[in-house]
Amino acid sequence: MLDWTDKHCRYFHRLLTRHALLYTEMVTSGALIHGDRARHLDFNSGELPLALQLGGSERADLARCARWAQEWGYSEVNLNCGCPSERVQRGAFGACLMREPELVADGIKAMRDAVSIPVTVKHRIGIDKTESYDFVRDFVGAVSLAGCTTFIVHARNAWLQGLSPKDNREVPPLRYASVYQLKKDFPALTFVINGGITQSAQIEEHLQHVDGVMLGREAYHNPWWLSDWDARFFADASQTSQTRESAEQKMVTYMNQQADQFGTPWPSVARHMLGLRHGLPGARRWRQVWSDHKLKELPPEQVMALAHGQD
């Protein structure tokens, strides 16, 4: 979710669900150590609970970054062993790390020794075209020995050659049964399933077999879906009175705050809520207005009025 789940996106999603655990976009250990650390790590406290997703493989660097995550107030630090992009592979992290479970275990142990917040791993069920359950079972077994108790599993292989990251989310076949089997083989561990999930009924079905469900692009493109989750999955009906319009108004208030405090132009925030009226009459016109950069000099209240056909 690089360039997607930034702090503005997460603020918006937190308006829709108070309980779902949110994740940052993947941040490399190198970016934190050598780059603008505050830009990568700062977040609004209202986003919590929030996990920092790390990319890296050097144990000392991972431990250092995990300590920063805890100091900044993150709820969890997650090591990405699932991203298949060639750029990530050149950096020796992401899905290619599944070939080196002992290296991953070493990094997990270093992070767990450095912090008290949970340290988790996100990974695939395999790499390239070999569909061997033993491969992912042995990976989980080795990493769990380092003390990792939570695994977020994208139920597809990662093909490291010949597919773009987009194709890697669609072409390798989904094999949910492999994730279910992991739960059976390691009942004391927590397994969260990911991949190809677009409906609440699917979430309910998966929860019969595993401990949790992670949603990515479908939640981004159809964010109003999140507004049903607290009542449906967390027994909290306090959000049921919220409407799309009230969420949009809260985002307008947030846009003004970001402009006043940081000089952030409202289009940088508004781009994350363009799916809010997904499936409704007039949604296309509404999206066109909120994505029209020719209106960027107008205050967001006026843009909202135009989006709803008001003068």
65 is annotated as an active-site residue: no
Candidate list 9, 65, 81, 83, residue with the active-site label = 83
| Residue of 26, 27, 24 lying closest to 9 (CA atoms) | 24
Cα 155 to Cα 253: distance, rounded to the nearest angstrom: 39
Cα 138 to Cα 217: distance, rounded to the nearest angstrom: 29
3-state secondary structure of 227: helix
Cα 139 to Cα 8: distance, rounded to the nearest angstrom: 35
Tally of CA atoms within 13 A in the half-sphere of 212 that contains its CB: 16
Per-residue three-class SS string for 136-160: HHHHHHHHHCCCCCEEEEEEEEECC
Cα 170 to Cα 164: distance, rounded to the nearest angstrom: 10
Tally of CA atoms within 13 A in the half-sphere of 273 that contains its CB: 30
Name all contacts of 165-170 with Cβ < 8 Å and 24+ positions apart.
165/83, 165/84, 165/85, 168/84, 169/195, 169/217
3-state secondary structure of 102: helix
Q: Residue 130: CB partners within 8 Å, gap ≥ 6? A: 157
Q: Is the peptide bond between 165 and the residue preceding it cis, with omega within 30 degrees of 0?
A: no
Cα 159 to Cα 182: distance, rounded to the nearest angstrom: 21
Q: Which residue has the tokens 């890697």?
A: 168
Active site residues: 83
